[in-house]
Amino acid sequence: MRAQSSATASPRIAVGTASAENRGASFGTVQAALGVVAFSLTFPATAWGLEGFGPWSLIAVRSVLAAAVAGACLLGLRVTAPERRHWLGLAVVGAGVVLGFPLLTTLALQTSTTAHAAVVVGLLPLTTALLSALRVGTRPSRTFWFAALAGAAAVIAFTVQQSGGALTSADAYLFAALLVCAAGYTEGGRLARQMPGWQVIGWALVLCLPLTVPMAAVALSFEPVHLTAHSVTGLLWVAIGSQFLGLVVWYRGMAAIGIPKASQLQLAQPLLTLVWSVLLLGEHLPVAAPLTAAAVLVCIAVTQRARG
């Protein structure tokens, strides 16, 4: 009788465990999707912020504000400092998503439309998947590499066509932003499996304060500031929405469902940004932009299936 009870109890435990895992995966998907929505508003918010702030002021002040919010959370919850072995990874996150990506994309948006930038940055999921594969030592299939090259070719063709036959300085900034942000995403996703996701971005922001505070002071002294509803709203969103809260849910989602699946959700980001650029900024949408974005989505979807 006892053996029978034990046998009947085990399937129930297995079913309960599977159900809990499914709920965890679903919650992780929702969190990663919320991160994508937050990121899709970054370019339009940056364009608004540039209406009242210089590029260097916007970059530095957004990081300081985000670090102030993150630092208050870390202090309020009395979070202990990360272990020494995590600091190098946190430095990569800081260099990639706190400093590098905001700096390079803000400089690009001075001469590029958000629609154009959104399509170029549509390669970010692919770049993240590539770096993630290299980081964990996997060997992607030939199908993966073929789709990756096809997606890259589509984006390069779009940027060259839009710039009249040559890559512009804005495109150079955007392609560099892809690399540093993908490195930050990959390292942050890895760290989020060992510590809470909000602490990953929180400590990365705090780690950058010795650079961002002096940078903000110098930039504000040289660049004029014109406070408007748009500029203040844009600054607050890129600082709190994109730089902190968006990355909190993004890293939590990556930890729950894995970097490849989270990257697949990010396929919607370029299309969402294109919609925001039309609704919020009144930009004209070139026919090539949604077509290129759609081609990139197909290519990246193939890479995700090939990796799985």
Nearest to 246 by CA among 201, 193, 209: 201
Model-level pTM? 0.79
Work out the end-to-end distance of the chain between its first and last CA atoms, rounded to an integer number of angstroms. 44
Q: Confidence class of residue 308 from pLDDT cuts 50, 70 and 90? A: low
Tell me: the pLDDT tens digits for 104-140? 998 888 888 887 787 777 778 778 878 877 776 666 6
Tell me: the pLDDT tens digits for 233-288? 999 999 999 989 998 898 888 888 777 677 767 777 877 888 888 889 888 877 88
Q: Confidence class of residue 24 from pLDDT cuts 50, 70 and 90? A: low
